[in-house]
């Protein structure tokens, strides 16, 4: 497979790579993600119970309290943070949290990344260049 490359706006100038975890729903880090396990705990979220730890987390935008930025920072210190975040349009809380936590963050793509990236794809996120590379597609099948 040839790499698929998406170009966006690098907001947090770091690098990360890993397996994609994709949601069409917004995510609140404060109260919606357990910082100790990295698992999504929001009872109304379709990814409830899934861990963001070491994943490239793809979702439209964040929501909720400004404490979400500190929650991302706490997750980075605990080793439970995502390896990168891709948003359609990033909110201020997610931007600040990623900068404090050295998590690459990219948004504002010409193509909707949620339509292009699938759960389980192996993705590289270069926040300095604003480049996302899908280097390996997950084989079709059940999402675990």
Q: Are strands 15-22 and 4-7 parallel, antiparallel or unpaired?
A: unpaired
Out of 37, 51, 65, 118, pick the active-site residue: 65
Q: How many CB atoms lie within 10 A of CB 127?
A: 25
Please confirm, yes or no, whether 44 is among the known catalytic residues. Answer: no
Distance CA 106, CA 123 (A): 13
Tokens representing residue 32 in the block:
């919606």
Phi, psi for residue 57 in degrees, rounded to 5 = -90, 120
Catalytic residues: 65
């Amino acid at each position: 497979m040839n790499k698929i490359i998406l170009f966006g706006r690098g907001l947090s100038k770091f690098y990360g790579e890993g397996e994609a975890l994709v949601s069409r729903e917004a995510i609140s880090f404060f109260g919606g993600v357990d910082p100790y396990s990295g698992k999504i705990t929001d009872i109304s979220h379709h990814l409830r119970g899934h861990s963001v730890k070491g994943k490239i987390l793809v979702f439209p935008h964040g929501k909720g309290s400004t404490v979400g930025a500190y929650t991302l920072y706490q997750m980075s210190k605990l080793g439970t943070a995502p390896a990168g975040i891709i948003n359609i349009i990033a909110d201020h809380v997610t931007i600040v949290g990623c900068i404090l936590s050295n998590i690459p963050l990219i948004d504002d793509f010409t193509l909707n990344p949620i339509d292009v990236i699938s759960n389980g794809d192996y993705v590289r996120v270069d926040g300095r260049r604003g480049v996302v590379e899908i280097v390996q597609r997950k084989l079709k099948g059940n999402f675990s």
